[in-house]
A and B are shown apart, each in its own frame.
Chain A
């Protein structure tokens, strides 16, 4: 069934690229959506027909480099892909209903292509397929933003990530002699330069996931419309990083950085959460929320790779639900007469919150429960703050009738999520409690730290300026002056030219018409001939 899905998606995306963008783009987009829904129904309907053989095409048959093109049809693959199909359909619906989107068909086609690459990534059994799908995903995402600066940053960051991954996997191949993931897993601990490989892979995955210090490119997407943000964050680059992490985690574990990853994820989660709470820009909130989620998912999958197939699709759905709520909810202000009630309300919130925290700590939660708890807390806290307490300024607002459609989508997503099993009422109580605290402190947070430049700090650009441009200007000048100019131009070439000039001048002088010089040359010639004749005679 996965093979049928794969081929069907290729055909639909090919059709979307062939049809030109025109006045009927919305109609074509709806037809594309219907085709996708039909394909999804086929997949879900035949979910029980599991064919474990999958599809394998022998691409490179060389003994030292056996690469196959593999599409897995295992049950857990299908269980992972099925909810993601729903999300794909929802994202395409956003492309259709957004009035500002003038390229809905193109973007929908790109969404389909992204999903195809996700399938290839998840099915990959060797390094080539992983790198192939990841790199093509970077190319696809290059065409999603419509702002030049955002596009540039997104592409450059992802290219750096691809290069880092490529270099790391080259080291692995040189050590192991195979690109098969099974071989790498068994040799994982014995690879030389393990720390170097782990560092490069973490850089690559961190860039794609948007972890702290490596998220400048995602922050730059704040100018994009909602549907394009969903196209990037829901089924694209960050998801690819999680899949790669799941498959290549043996190369990171047992390295120098293996423990640091957890703290990195935690820090990313906290910073993204604070940014989400304190920023007044709607798109920045959406981006920060997505970064929060991916920081948590990164940790979850790093600890337990199988979470890729179980937890991740569910939490992706929750994330999309949250993004929809943020985007479509009505914005309200607080009348001045409610201020007194607000203070009383805040007091009750703080007391309740501390009580819930006490109850929560008495359990023994693992970190993945922490991050989902905090995540949901942040969602609800934001909602409470937005609906009840503060007025929020926004970048873009959907039209009123679009908001109605948006709430229908939110309802549908909620039903899907409930059906996936997120119906634990005890967790919900915990979440509500912590969220009350979040809502109370969020406006204070903005007042204290919201205007600090650190939230928009770009680490990569700092490295670029200080570690590349400055040394480039300095050492480039020295290298050119010392080696090219002094050694080659003045030293070798200048000396050769000077010697040639000297020799030609002297030879010219020696060949003038002076009689004495003529006699001298005659004698020299005679001596040479005599010596040569003598040598020949002796031989």
Chain B
């Protein structure tokens, strides 16, 4: 079906335009710091409505990319921008918008200058959206690396790093991945002239250079995923971030790596190559075990959320490498639920931490006094650990069963890691629900109304996703 009204370009342009509006907004003093966040909120809401409309045009039963849109760029080289979407990319775009929206809602209440943060967040959102709708290799590369620019600025401004060496190392680390990716693309273009991702998937693996290109792409994408030995900088950066909006955006980096692997996955992988996947599985489960053990022992709630997201990202990575069609078919719904839960957890965790700092009080027992926060936090934790109140339950069941069928030992270690990280989250919840005399927080410190309403919407979406995954899609009359 043709792309009505160039909608795909619009959902990339709208956040970019919003960024320009934010830059021109009056936000020069502490009293006016809501202007930029209001513009950002309006921009994201408009884009969510647009995304919802696009869902109506995408046929659920049809596989492959739809609503293709071509933008001429370098005709003489045969390189043009091709945008297209399917259910997976749309769900990821929607989830990204929702969790960044949630981060902005939280940050809005803080008495700090937010102009730069909102501008870079919108730019990041625009780049991420472009990544998910790219259907040719060059535009994919541009958006894949373009999302790093606003991210580095945000980390640098709000990362609370005492040493710049960590940030420099993170930059160089991603640059190396970028170079490997670019070399792979150029090599591929020189030898095959391939620019379309579907054409890449159909490439004949018997050509000697194709496996090397696959390897280059895989390594470049794995740079973004916190699997050993690529986990170092991502872990170091994430654990030092205290700004929830920036944490959420940095947590989307592994998602871009996963998505890239999923999109660039070849239709056929010869046995000579797939036999090495067992090493990925081994390293993956060991990384999961390692991270889950540290998260279990670490009392910092932020680290627990990070270890939770890491475990799940690696689980989805292993799911992709299992080459199982059921997992591929289910991955979008799994990631959608996971992103909402992770974003919601980070926002409420950051809120509790902020209240602790503001009042100089322990947070133990806070949930006994804050009813709204208790409801939201409990639901998110129950959902995160896999209780059947959101689509995480169904998706986890499918993915775990497939991974167990591949290798029972790997699946058992995965389940153990999952158990450890779940218990660490539950322990934190139980700590917050155990009343303490050292907690001076009261009912007045409960979630503000706007945050509470937003989190209720998240809960509603998670509940409905459990009952029917695409409940919000209204099919187009055409």
Hey, which bits of chain A sit against chain B, CB under 8 A? 59-60, 64-65, 128, 131-132, 135-136, 138-139, 148, 151-152, 155-156, 159-160, 162-163, 166-167, 169-171, 173-175, 193, 196, 472-473, 475-476, 479-480, 483-484, 487-489, 492-493
Contact = CB atoms under 8 A, between A and B. Distances in A.
A484 B232 contact: yes
20 contacts: A65-B394, A132-B393, A136-B387, A136-B389, A138-B387, A148-B433, A152-B430, A155-B426, A160-B419, A163-B418, A163-B419, A167-B415, A169-B397, A170-B401, A174-B402, A196-B412, A476-B290, A476-B297, A480-B294, A484-B232
A170 B404 contact: yes
A156 B431 CA distance: 13
A473 to B, nearest CB: 8
B415 A476 contact: no
Contacts of A132: 388, 393
A167 B408 contact: no
Contact of B169 (A59, A163, A472, A493): A493
Contacts of A152: 430, 434
Contacts of B400: 166-167, 170
Contact of B388 (A64, A65, A131): A131
A174 B297 contact: no
A156 B426 contact: yes
Contact of A166 (B229, B386, B405): B386
B470 interface: no
Contacts of A159: 385, 422-423, 426
A131 B401 CA distance: 15
B408 A196 contact: yes
B297 A171 contact: no
A469 to B, nearest CB: 8
B401 A148 contact: no
A66 B385 CA distance: 23
B408 A476 contact: no
Contacts of A169: 397
B401 A171 contact: yes
Contacts of B393: 131-132, 135
B229 A60 contact: no
B397 A173 contact: yes
A476 B389 CA distance: 33
Q: Top 3 nearest A-B pairs by Cβ distance?
A: A174-B405, A170-B401, A174-B401
Contacts of A139: 382, 387
Contacts of B382: 139
Interface in B361-419: 382, 385-389, 393-394, 396-398, 400-402, 404-405, 408, 411-412, 415, 418-419
Interface of B: 169, 228-229, 232, 290, 293-294, 296-297, 326, 382, 385-389, 393-394, 396-398, 400-402, 404-405, 408, 411-412, 415, 418-419, 422-423, 426, 430, 433-435, 467
Contacts of B294: 476, 480
Contacts of B430: 148, 151-152, 155-156
A148 B388 contact: no
A472 B232 contact: no
A319 to B, nearest CB: 29
A222 B352 CA distance: 33
B290 A479 contact: yes
Contacts of A167: 400, 404, 411-412, 415
A162 B426 CA distance: 14
Nearest to B286: A479
A174 B467 contact: no
Given A148-B435, A488-B232, A493-B169, A156 B405 contact: no
A173 B388 contact: no
Nearest to B176: A496
Nearest to B232: A488
A156 to B, nearest CB: 7
B322 to A, nearest CB: 11
Given A132-B388, A174-B401, A60 B394 contact: yes
A162 to B, nearest CB: 8
Contacts of B396: 166
A65 B296 contact: no
B202 to A, nearest CB: 26
